[in-house]
Structure 1
Amino acid sequence: MRAVQFDRFGGPEVLTEVERPDPVPGDGEVLVEVEAAGVNFGDIKNVAGQYAPAETLPHVPGMEVVGRTADGTRVLGYLTSGGYASLAAVRARDLIEIPEEIGAGQAAALLVQGLTAWHLLRSAARVQPGEAVVVNAAAGGVGSLAIQLARHFGAGRVIATASTPDKRSLALDLGADSAVDGAADGYRERILDANHGRGVDVVLDAVGGEVFEQALGTLAHFGRLITYGASAGGPLPAVDPARLTMSNTVLGGLWLVPVLERSGAAGPPLRELLRLTVAQQLRPLVGGEYPLACAADAHRDLLDRRTAGKLVLRV
């Protein structure tokens, strides 16, 4: 089979297209002929050596595949690695049948990024009707879906942050009530101004760094700041527990992998996301499609924030 792998840790330059033996499905696994593979920041971390141990090299990254099983059923599947390939062995519990009218990019967007957005709002932040929700990095794969889902779940006001005017315009088009610059300098003032001077109930943050620190200062009493990444780099700032207690602030986090390992991917949340997409109540964005051999280009564009929405590799 064709695959993209890395045999040393590093940046996009270490990704190469190779021929590898076809995978042999184990117990409870299904062989999928891959139509497209999703690209995620987690793949970039994998290539950089933050996930994959050295003894697994050479390694094929990729956590999402859209394709067909041997009987022709079109499926969406989650796997811990191995998605950047023409064939993938996927656990049956992590496969879900998808309708033909959903594009491969849209389907891939609903898996890691769609489920992350769903669990951020439902499981971690537990958003209630009427609450004010801030979505940082709102033009990204998770952010663009979180805006729409927050609105669907009854948020009273959705405030988006993004780095460019075009991305802020996109956030407004997706349903945000307000979109502001997401830079750390002046972040707190812009968020409070967008919420008419009041603190917000929820902030979803994948930026980290000084933005994380500023976001804490935007929360109303019993507000929740949920972190799920740190694209700004470096560790999250230390938080004094006394600061949390004085303002009744809840600080939480989300990493999707343990959720999927516990419950499997093909559960009620993913079925809800598929249903909303078919009903055109949810619009997953496809930011770019690349040939499998150009996986390095997809990683560079994602790192340089040149895209909005979901990136996929066409096999």
Structure 2
Amino acid sequence: MLAIRFDRFGGPEVLNPVEVPAPIPGPGEVLISVEAAGVNFSDTHLTDGSYLGADRLPHIPGSEVVGRTPDGRRVLARVSNGYAEFAVAKESHVFDLPPDLDAGRALALMTQGLTAWHLLRTAARLSPGETVVVHSAAGGVGSLAVQLAGEFGAGRVLAQASTPEKERLALSLGADGIVAYPLGEPADIVLDAVGGPLFDRALDSLAPLGRLVTYGNAARTPFTPVDPVRLRATGTSVIGFWLRPALAAPGALGTPLKALLGLVAQGRLRPIAHRVYPLVDARRAHEDLLARETVGKLTLTVSP
């Protein structure tokens, strides 16, 4: 089968199309003929070796696919090696899709949708009426977090984005306003995947008992050490979040994913599917993602 693999850590240039044997499902697993694979920012960290729990080499990236099971079901699945014509998933990680939901929007709900859900519910523990600031609000996670924060009862949802076009998208998704630092008002919750100077500005902008949830380091710069005395003074918190351990809890994958699919079906959640690339152009997808030239979900098409 055709797959995208990297044999050494590095930038997008290490991603290469290769022919490898198709995977063989074991007990409790299902083989999926891949229609499309999702691309996530975490894939770029996996490729350059900076990802938490970096995999051994060589490696086929990709954590989510839409495809067909041997009995013909069209499904969304969480996998380990999704940039390929075939992938294997645990049966408990496979979910039937409605026929009218396209692959890009479905894929947006897996890694990015679950991340947005758990950032607000599990990590930040959003309470009704609180003010939420979402960094990278036009990105895959951010565009969903803006919508879900409102769905979960936030009093105000404020967006931070890098271009006027991305700011307009965040407003169209329900953000109440666009913010720049220093904030005009303290925030109860800030969701940050950027790190660097933006992390420090966000920490300075928290309201008493506010929570800054860090779930990435797109800036790829060292974090400034946080003085506990600084946190105690106002009762603020810095919370680290990584989706992989969060999904180990019972019901942490299936329950929210089914809820997300339900919100899409009701028209209350709009996943943004952006660019589509052929599988062999995975390198270009990573380049565009790193250049911040994209919004919403990127997908690799594998089969029609």
| Normalised-by-shorter TM-score class | over 0.9
Cα deviations across residues 147-206 of structure 1 (Å, max 9, x unaligned)?
A: 00001111110100001100001110000010135xxxxx12xx22xxxxx311110011
Deviation per CA, 1:11-50: give whole Å up to 9, x if none: 1111111111010001211000100000011211111123
Query: Conserved in 2, the CA contact under 8 Å of 1:226 and 1:251?
Result: yes
Distance in 2 separating the partners of 1:55 and 1:115: 22
2:256 matched to which residue of 1? 269
- 2:145 counterpart residue number: 146
* Structure 1 position 165 matched with structure 2 position 164: yes
Instruction: Classify 1:128/1:65 alpha carbon distance in 2 versus 1 (closer, same or farther; 3 Å).
Output: same
Contact 2:114 2:253 in 1 (8 A): no
Q: Deviations over 1:47-105 (max 9, x none)?
A: 112349898332111001111101111111112x2100010011111111111111100
Query: 1:4 touches 1:60 (CA, 8 Å); kept in 2?
Result: yes
1:229 to 201, 216, 236: 216
Deviation at 1:217? Answer: 1.2
Give the whole-Å Cα distance in 2 for the aligned partners of 1:5 and 1:251.
Answer: 35
Q: CA deviation at 1:264?
A: 6.8
When residues 250 and 51 of structure 1 are mapped into structure 2, their CA distance, relative to the original with a 3 A threshold, is closer
For residue 233 of structure 1, what is the amino acid of its counterpart? R
Match in the other structure for 2:76: 76
* Residue of structure 1 in register with 2:274 after alignment: 287
Residues 77 and 94, structure 1, Cα contact 8 Å, conserved in 2: yes
Task: Indicate how the Cα distance of structure 1 residues 52 and 238 shifts in structure 2: closer, same or farther if over 3 A, else same.
Answer: closer
Give the conservation status (yes or no) of the 8 Å contact 1:64–1:77. Answer: yes
Inter-partner Cα distance in structure 1 for 2:165 and 2:54 = 40
Work out whether residues 96 and 266 of structure 1, in 8 Å CA contact, stay in contact via their aligned partners in 2: no
What residue in structure 1 maps to residue 290 of structure 2?
A: 303
Q: Distance in 2 between matches of 1:52 and 1:59?
A: 15
Change (3 A) 1:12 1:128: same
Counterpart secondary structure, 2:179: strand
> Cα distance, 1:258 vs. partner?
1.1
Is the alpha carbon distance of 1:110 and 1:226 closer, same or farther for their aligned partners in structure 2, counting shifts above 3 Å?
A: same
Partner letter of residue 305 of structure 1? R
Aligned residue in 1 for 2:106: 107
Which residue of structure 2 lines up, in the alignment, with residue 28 of structure 1?
A: 28
Residues 125 and 54 (structure 1), Cα distance of their counterparts in 2 relative to 1, 3 Å cut: closer
Does residue 199 (structure 1) correspond to residue 173 (structure 2)? The answer is: no
Partners in 1 of 2:299 and 2:152 — Cα distance? 28
8 Å contact from structure 1 (residues 29, 91) kept in 2 = yes
Is the contact between residue 287 and residue 308 of structure 1 (CA under 8 Å) also seen in structure 2?
yes
Distance 1:294 1:239 in 2: 40
Tell me what 2:43 maps to.
43
Match of 1:246 among 229, 233, 238: 233
Q: Find the aligned partners of 1:179 and 1:105 in 2 and give their Cα distance.
A: 27
Question: Could you say which residue in structure 2 is the equivalent of 1:175?
Answer: 174
Q: Secondary structure at the match of 2:247?
A: helix
Sequence identity, in percent? 57
Letter in 2 for 1:95: V
1:63 match: 63
* Alignment RMSD (CA, Å): 1.6
SS in 1 for 2:275: strand
Contact 1:140 1:310 in 2 (8 A): yes
Note if 1:209 corresponds to 2:196: yes
* Matched-pair contact (CA < 8 Å) for 2:31–2:88: yes
Q: Which runs of 4+ in 1 moved over 3 A?
A: 51-56, 261-266
Aligned residue number for residue 219 of structure 1:
206
Please, what TM-score do these two structures have when normalized by structure 1?
0.92
C-alpha distance in 2 between matches for 1:239 and 1:9: 30
